[in-house]
Amino acid sequence: MSGDFLALAQPGVQQLSPYVPGKPVDELARELDIDPATIVKLASNENPLGASPKALAAIRDELAELTRYPDGNGFALKSLLAERCGVDIQQVTLGNGSNDILELVARAYLAPGLNAVFSEHAFAVYPIVTQAVGAAARVVPARHWGHDLPAMLKAIDEQTRVVFIANPNNPTGTWFSAEELDEFLQDVPAHVLVVLDEAYIEYAEGSDLPDGLDFLAAYPNLLVSRTFSKAYGLAALRVGYGLSTPVVADVLNRVRQPFNVNSLALAAACAALQDADYLAESRRLNEAGMQQLEAGFRDLGLSWIASKGNFIAVDVGREAAPVFQGLLREGVIVRPVANYGMPNHLRVTIGLPAENTRFLEALAKVLARG
């Protein structure tokens, strides 16, 4: 006799679906018997430049110490981040990717009977971490595919402990201004922790996006989360960080797993953070690639959602799932986003110029088939 272990799981967990990552190149190659070298992957918002040469050198230097546990406090990286971000080292929390920071927040501040507020079309991890600890998810309808901050304010009640907001947002690429953010933070009750997810903020430097760091001193209930997975090109190593008051950082460290960031990730992140040329080239390539894809969509008569990330959501004018499958057969991997309530859209990562061209040509071919 066996137990029903799905029924025994927490109700919130029972209602979840596992997070589905972008299809790996090797998986598509096996499924369709395609040479993996010919496959273009534009599905997971990875940096097409590859990792910084300085980060790769730092990893090689660290390999001899693989028998040693990493620095569980991440002192070197936290020191660099504190200096770069203008905060005290006690305000920095390191995570196994920024996803880890989101989960630490949920474990520390959410529980059955409490709730978290976030937007429709927002990052899939927000409901996962919320419902996994038995808290309720309050999903606020989007406005023009982005956050409706005034409506999110109205959704907050006495049982709300966390609000997740992303700027720019994934998968839509939408953003809000510094004025909108400031007005929102002024009105959020003091008992609610606002998590400002800035996973793509490095791509938006010099734009009209606010820098969450500018608001930390004024709002003790604000936490800014960032990652090295995107603009810094270290997605495989899983390293991110949160910036908050020392009190919030101390709470998160009480539930953080020991050695949650490995030695190779710590070394690579330190090196990448100091490689200004690499970051500048990542931005340049992204801006050019965004213009290339927008021009291609315009030529195809398609609409898209303006984006400040390293990706763009295009409306293919029909159910996107068959188009996605058609692209796979052409050896091009993008991301369907029907699970985000966007059944007619595909999210496309900005790639190298040749990769962008390959995608646009494949898209035109698939759409022409009807």
Domain ranges across the chain:
19-48+275-367, 52-273
Q: Does position 1 have pLDDT exceeding 70, yes or no?
A: no
Nearest to 171 by CA among 45, 18, 301: 45
Supply the pLDDT for residue 108. Answer: 97
Q: Does position 29 have pLDDT exceeding 90, yes or no?
A: no
Provide the mean pLDDT of the chain: 95
Supply the pLDDT for residue 33. Answer: 86
Domain at 52-273, CATH class: alpha beta
Supply the pLDDT for residue 271. Answer: 98
Q: Which fold has domain 19-48+275-367?
A: Aspartate Aminotransferase, domain 1 (3.90.1150)
Question: pTM higher than 0.95, yes or no?
Answer: no
133-153 average pLDDT score: 97
Supply the pLDDT for residue 206. Answer: 66
Better-predicted residue by pLDDT, 9 or 222: 222
The pLDDT tens digits for 156-166 are 999 999 999 99
Supply the pLDDT for residue 86. Answer: 96
Which range, of 6-20, 186-200, 294-308, 335-349, averages the lowest pLDDT?
A: 6-20
Supply the pLDDT for residue 2. Answer: 63
